[in-house]
Amino acid sequence: MGEVANQPPPLVNYNLFDADLPLRESLEREGGFWAHDMVRDLGRLAGTEDAIHWGFQANSNPPQLHTHDRFGNRIDEVEFHPAWHRLMEVAVGHGLHALPWREPRPGAHAARAAAFYVWSQVEGGHGCPVSMTYAAMPALRKQPELAARWEPLITSLAYDPGLRAPAGKRGALFGMAMTERQGGSDVRANTTRADPVAGGGSGGEYFLTGHKWFCSAPMCDAFLVLAQAPGGLSCFLLPRVLDDGERNRFHIQRLKDKLGNRSNASAEILLDGAWAVMIGEEGRGVRTIIDMVNHTRLDCVIGSASLMRQAVAQATHHTAHRSAFGRLLSEQPLMVNVLADIAIESEATTLLMMRLAGAFDRASDPQEAAFKRLALAVSKYWTCKRAIAVVAEALECHGGNGYVEESIMPRLYREAPLNSIWEGSGNVNALDVLRAMAREPDSVAAFTEEVEQARGMDSRLDDAVDELKRQLTDGADAEARARSLVELMARALEASLLVRHGDPAVAEAFCASRLDSGGGRSFGTLQPSSKLARIVERHRPHP
């Protein structure tokens, strides 16, 4: 047998940060320039053969549940492959779980977003406990005495797995348990009971009894949990191990057998009089935990951007080395059209992701806070759905090669729908946009002011913004039209960002295809242009 021909070399030994010009430009613009070296170091590591191997190993060897030890004692432990622990060591060691809380300086959320986006391209599943630990801090700070105790563990750069009392840990990770069988997204239908100890109340002790249908990352050290106290649905901090070393009455019933996200553990749990402490006011659980939800929604956008970027990198690399019908795929006009189209979507999402992270950094400004309130829900809805389509198209660019597990494409494809479901499915987020518009009209003004900053720079965008402003004042059939409205908001915002800050060729193609056509089109239907090849080259990694 002869040498194998016409197969691309592995996409390995390149720096994911150096290869991503839209990310580098956005990091500077959003004030995270001081983290350049850290993100670049992660980008180098993410491109190594070792890191790529860890991602494959962690997904080929999913976590295993051990409910009891060999003597019959309840232990409720989850065992992970060593590759998972290596991924976590890198993530925690670089502060992806806590950077803005460790270094509360301008651009910290943007810096953390860029780093999380780069490292998540290696493997998405381990980002779950990293994300929830990052997101837990704002909710935890509503109970200062709890924050004072847990913050040093949360902000530590030591990855310290294993179930031990908090005092014996060098670092801690947080999970979340909100949804139940009978309610799902309707958390107010929860039935888990919180019985007070010695009066309870804010900062008081409770025993929780009930079940949770989805508990994210059950191997974590502590959880934010919703339960029904006498005064209504409330938020609680529930540790896995109590101060005296006894394990809390937190029992893992089974691990979920999931479509994707296979490296990570998600569980059904039973709380059998588990000890917990109330965070915030009794009966205000949703309002208390919403800060955590908002930060994890940001990470859904980052995760979707990360999936798109890795898919585009793989597709542009493959087609630059694979020939068909006498030419490289990357030289064939229709393939160039497809590649440019998915690259445009990826660049738009990267700019949007970083703009949102910047709004988190500047949330003390009322204008930025109002923009963030609406733009976050809009972006969560739109980018998570677009990731699914981009990854599917990038897989198709590989042909049959992309359909086998030895390529990363099937794993990316299975991972893509997760972000659209986690922290509220499409309908939940679209309706949240309507809710924000009704309750916080300042958010509408801030959103429109943001997109209006590009007024006069592209006539198609001007027309789209005019139509958006008309629809924002039209209350007829609002719920039935919610998705259409949110999609228009998202496309207008991405176009505005691209026109102001993106590559001119990308901005032109985006406005021509996403605004003139009204959406709902397949990738690869851009108007022919000599600039498309340059767009593809802008996004192709060069190992």
How is residue 265 annotated by DSSP? -
Burial of 402: CB neighbours in 10 Å, binned 0-12, 13-18, 19+: buried
pLDDT digits (tens, 9 = 90+) for 389-399: 999 999 999 99
Fold (topology level) of 162-283: Butyryl-CoA Dehydrogenase, subunit A; domain 2 (2.40.110)
Nearest by Cα to 69 from 165, 176, 163: 163
Asked whether the predicted pLDDT for residue 517 surpasses 70, the reply is no
User: Is residue 427 a contact partner of residue 473, using CB atoms and an 8 Å limit?
Assistant: no
Mean pLDDT over all residues of the chain? 96
Q: Give pLDDT, residue 31.
A: 98
For residue range 424-443, list pLDDT tens digits in order. Answer: 899 999 999 999 999 999 99
Q: How confident is the model at residue 291 (pLDDT cuts 50, 70, 90)?
A: confident
Tell me, which fold does domain 287-543 have in CATH? Butyryl-CoA Dehydrogenase, subunit A; domain 3 (1.20.140)
Q: Note the pLDDT tens digit of each residue in 440-462.
A: 999 999 999 999 999 999 999 99
pLDDT (0 to 100) of residue 183 = 82
Query: Given a cut of 80, is residue 521 above it in pLDDT?
Result: no
Q: How far is CA 47 from the centre of its chain?
A: 20
Distance between CA 292 and CA 289 in Å, rounded? 5
Give residue 197's pLDDT. Answer: 96
Comparing 19-28, 177-186, 338-347, 378-387, the range with the smallest average pLDDT is 177-186
Tokens representing residue 431 in the block: 């309706």
Domain positions in the chain = 162-283, 287-543
Predicted confidence band of residue 520 (pLDDT cuts 50, 70, 90): very low
pLDDT attached to residue 422: 86
The residue with greater pLDDT, 291 or 381, is 381
Length of the chain: 543
Query: What average pLDDT does the segment 145-167 reach?
Result: 97
Q: Assign 80 a pLDDT band (cuts: 50, 70, 90).
A: very high
pLDDT at 484 over 90: yes
Cβ count within 10 A of residue 327: 10
How many whole angstroms from its chain centre is CA 466?
Answer: 31
Query: Which has the minimum average pLDDT: 185-199, 200-214, 238-252, 409-423?
Result: 185-199
What is the reported pLDDT for 1? 57
Q: What percentage of the chain reaches a pLDDT higher than 90?
A: 92
- pLDDT at position 479: 93
User: How is residue 30 written in tokens?
Assistant: 């959003």
Other beta carbons less than 10 A from residue 374's beta carbon: 25
| Amino acid at site 163 | L
Phi first, then psi: what are they for 165, rounded to 5°?
Answer: -60, 145
Phi-psi region of 503 (alpha: psi -120 to 50; beta: other; left: phi over 0): beta
Tokens representing 531? Answer: 């600039």
Q: For residue 353, what are the CA distances in angstroms to 197, 301, 502, 513?
A: 43, 6, 13, 21
Pick from 362, 216, 363, 376: which is nearest to 301 by CA?
376
Is residue 301 within 8 A of residue 356, CB to CB? The reply is: yes
Distance CA 489, CA 446 (A): 12
